[in-house]
């Protein structure tokens, strides 16, 4: 079983913020692939499904970003899921809007959700699906940028990205991150040219 964690903050006031693109990604994947309804468990909300025969538990921690690791650790411990089978979907300032990169392990680049997962799991050996939201240009503007809602002008690329992530998700579950990234890139380019 894989544990896919969307990083974000709970509550309707945070729902459209850039920081919540991890939640949005899991919602799109669960909807597209007929996962179970979301229910409260492991200090979060979970939905279960299968992608190409691989069981996936989607988890949206409801502990706020800075304490995301508590929910992840609880789920991983109870279900005996190794860090190597945990994937964090999160916003990434250092990628252009709509770009996606996948990597195993590594640093947190100042992302509090990743930092707390690393603390709770006592390792950095989990994978990350980095979802580009772009950088505001100056360090002092970062907090307002990530905690700000997507603008109306962003709606096109955000919807295209979420649709592409949902379409390509089985490739990620099958352990083909390169194919997943290629598929997402192709689908988002197709949507941009329409």
Q: Are 38 and 47 in contact (CB under 8 A)?
A: yes
Active site annotation includes 19: yes
Tokens 């994947």 correspond to what residue? 29
Question: Coil, strand, or helix at residue 151?
Answer: coil
Paired tokens of 6: 């969307």
Among residues 14, 19, 90, 111, the one annotated as catalytic is: 19
Phi, psi values for residue 137, rounded to 5°: 105, -25
Q: What is the DSSP letter of 136?
A: -
Residues annotated as catalytic are 19
């Amino acid at each position: 079983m894989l544990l896919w964690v969307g990083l974000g903050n709970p509550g309707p006031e945070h729902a459209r913020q850039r920081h919540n693109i991890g939640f949005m990604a899991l919602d799109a994947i669960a909807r597209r692939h007929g996962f179970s309804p979301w229910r409260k468990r492991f200090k979060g909300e979970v939905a279960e499904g299968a992608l190409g025969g691989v069981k996936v538990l989607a988890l949206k921690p409801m502990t706020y970003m800075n304490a995301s690791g508590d929910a992840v650790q609880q789920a991983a411990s109870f279900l005996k899921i190794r860090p190597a089978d945990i994937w964090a979907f999160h916003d990434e300032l250092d990628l252009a809007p709509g770009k996606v990169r996948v990597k195993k392990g590594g640093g947190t680049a100042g992302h509090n959700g990743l930092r707390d997962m690393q603390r709770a799991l006592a390792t950095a050996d989990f994978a990350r699906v980095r979802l580009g939201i772009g950088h505001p240009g100056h360090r002092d503007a970062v907090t307002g940028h990530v905690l700000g809602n997507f603008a109306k002008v962003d709606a096109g690329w955000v919807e295209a990205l979420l649709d592409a992530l949902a379409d390509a998700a089985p490739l990620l579950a099958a352990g083909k991150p390169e194919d997943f990234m290629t598929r997402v890139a192709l689908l988002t380019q197709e949507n941009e040219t329409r």
